Amino acid sequence: MINERKGIWPDVPYVLPFAVFLGFLALQKYFPLPPNAEFIVRDVLLAGVLLGFSRRVIELIPARAIETVILGIAVFVVWVGPDILFPTYRQHWLFQNSILGQLTIAIPGSVLQSPWVLWPRILQAVLFVPILEELFWRAWLMRWLISPHFEKVPLGTFQAGAFWITALLFASEHGPYWDVGLIAGIAYNWWMIRTRSLADCILAHAVTNACLCWYVVATHHWVYWQ
């Protein structure tokens, strides 16, 4: 259905940024840019798409900021906890295989520590990725699975199939980290249902990613940035 008032498909503001992000990653494999240009170009591109197409649907004022920050930190702890407690845990075939991929460091740590690479990479993780992923997963897909006329479905509407399909697909996006990705997906889905607020989900996701960035830089555990 065309959104006649805006003259665009109503799905576009929610789906396009995520599609552009994945498309850029795919093209980077065949037409690689040097790391000091890759993240800057990607950030500029994502900023343009979000401002140009998604501005009207983005919410950035959380309703429950303190609880949301706590949730974001909790998801971070869950994300790194298994690898800290059991260092060889993720070597199991359940996490690294021909379907999910292997844990590799695509860009050497010495390169990632360059300010021209590090700060655009952090900006992407903390600002752009939480917005584009929450637009796609929680604000669009979880409603679209309930009804293709998703705009008529209020944010945070619970339907078991939509909840679990979204969580499982979110987990699959994270490859060898699918297990903690699943927990994160369940947590963010639940928080959307609890708060009915896109802004709170964006903030929770941003806090998780900010903590993860801090951990990666502090410990040089660059594999989280594969």
- The two tokens of residue 91 are 């070597």
Mean pLDDT of the chain: 93
Please state the length of the chain: 226
Q: Tens of pLDDT along 143-163?
A: 999 999 999 999 999 999 999
Strand partners for 101: 97
Within-domain flag for 3: no
Run of H or E residues at 206: helix 198-219
Q: Is residue 145 part of a domain?
A: yes
Q: What is the pLDDT of residue 8?
A: 62
Tell me whether residue 183 is in a domain: yes
Q: Is position 136 within any domain?
A: yes
Measure the CA–CA gap between 143 and 139, rounded to whole angstroms.
7
The pair phi, psi for residue 4, each rounded to 5°, is: -65, -30
β-bridge mates for residue 8, sequence order: 3
Q: Which two tokens stand for residue 135?
A: 């637009």
Residue 76 in domain = yes
| Residue range(s) defining the domain that contains residue 73 | 12-225
Mean pLDDT computed over 173-181: 96
Confidence class for position 1, pLDDT limits 50, 70, 90: very low
Cα–Cα distance for residue pair 12/40, rounded to 1 Å: 24
**What's the pLDDT tens digit per position in 98-122?**
999 999 887 777 888 899 999 999 9
Residues 103 and 96 sit within 8 Å (Cβ to Cβ): yes
Please write the tens of the pLDDT for every residue from 2-27: 343 444 689 999 999 999 999 999 99
Is the residue at 6 inside a domain?
Answer: no
**What is the structure's pLDDT at 64?**
97
Rounded Cα distance, 178 and 170, in Å? 8
Predicted confidence (pLDDT) at residue 197 exceeds the cutoff of 70: yes
- b/e map of 139-156 (b: 16 or more CB within 10 Å)? bbbbbbbbeeebeebebb
| Angle at CA of residue 118, ends 111 and 188, nearest 5° | 125
Q: What is the mean pLDDT of residues 155-176?
A: 97
SS3 4: coil
The alpha-helical segments, DSSP class H, found in the chain are 12-30, 35-49, 65-85, 109-112, 115-123, 129-134, 142-144, 160-172, 178-195, 198-219
Does residue 100 fall inside a structural domain? yes
What pLDDT sits at residue 105? 80
Average pLDDT over residues 73-95: 95
Rounded to whole angstroms, the Cα distance separating 64 from 190 reads: 14
CA dihedral 149, 152, 154, 156 (to 10 degrees): -10
Whether the predicted pLDDT of 178 surpasses 50:
yes
Number of alpha carbons in the 13 Å side-chain half-sphere of residue 216: 24
Q: Give me the number of domains the chain comprises.
A: 1
